[in-house]
Amino acid sequence: MTQPSQFLRITCLLLFIGLGGCASWGGDETPEPQVHLVKVEVVRARLLEQKFMLHFRVDNPGEGDLTVRGLTYRIHLGDLLLTEGEHEHWFTVRPRRSAYFKVPIRTNLWPQVREVVKMLEKPRQQIPYRLEGELETGLFIADYVHLERNGVIIAADFIAE
């Protein structure tokens, strides 16, 4: 056997061993963080502009710190797109802990006023909502946690008597 072919075999062997180690780097099964919409606060509701504050909780079930960079979101009320946007806010969630953050949103429901009035005809009736988005995490390399939550709200809970 010639020296160059032996060198080539050893190089290939080391390359395959090294790649096997790289594949195991991403193989750790750390649990994904969980994101929950905790509360929707009505800040101001006027005819042409509505302001809300969305309160979120991020649960970190992992063994290490979780750095959160921001949130991209879409919120549907029934079949109506209420709002969508991005909120950049950096914070760290300690291992096996939770952290809270707020996202201010503004919307104009005037173009969809008929659909909204139809939903509010029976204030005690449940209105389904859907929250979709991605939580951007990671300190140096971004990782995206897909977020999808469904629930119901009761309009009477938000209407002052």
Burial of 66 (0-12, 13-18, 19+ CB in 10 A): buried
> Which position has the token pair 């879409």?
74
Please compute, for residue 52, the number of CA atoms within 13 A of its CA located in the half-sphere on the CB side. 17
24 confidence band (pLDDT: 50, 70, 90): very low
d(CA 90, CA 139): 10
Q: Among 57, 50, 25, 23, which residue's Cα sits nearest to residue 109?
A: 50
Q: 122: left (phi > 0), else alpha (psi -120 to 50), else beta?
A: beta
pLDDT at 118: 84
- Two structure tokens written together for 89: 């806010």
- Two structure tokens written together for 134: 């991605």
Q: pLDDT digit string (tens) for 81-138?
A: 988 999 999 999 999 999 999 999 998 888 888 888 888 788 788 889 899 999 999 9
* DSSP annotation of 110: G
Whole-number average pLDDT of the chain: 83
Task: Put the strands of the sheet holding 66-77 in their side by side order.
Answer: 80-93, 66-77, 126-137, 143-154
pTM beyond 0.85: the answer is no
Q: Among 112, 131, 128, 124, which residue's Cα sits nearest to residue 158?
A: 124
> Which position has the token pair 């809970």?
157
d(CA 110, CA 63): 47
Q: Alpha helix locations (H) across 66-152?
A: 113-120
Least confident span in 15-29, 108-122, 144-158: 15-29
Residue 42 has pLDDT above 90, yes or no: no
| Radius of gyration (C-alpha) of the chain in whole angstroms | 24
- Provide mean pLDDT across the span 48-52: 89
Higher pLDDT, 26 or 3: 3
What percent of the chain stands above pLDDT 90? 39
pLDDT at 65: 94
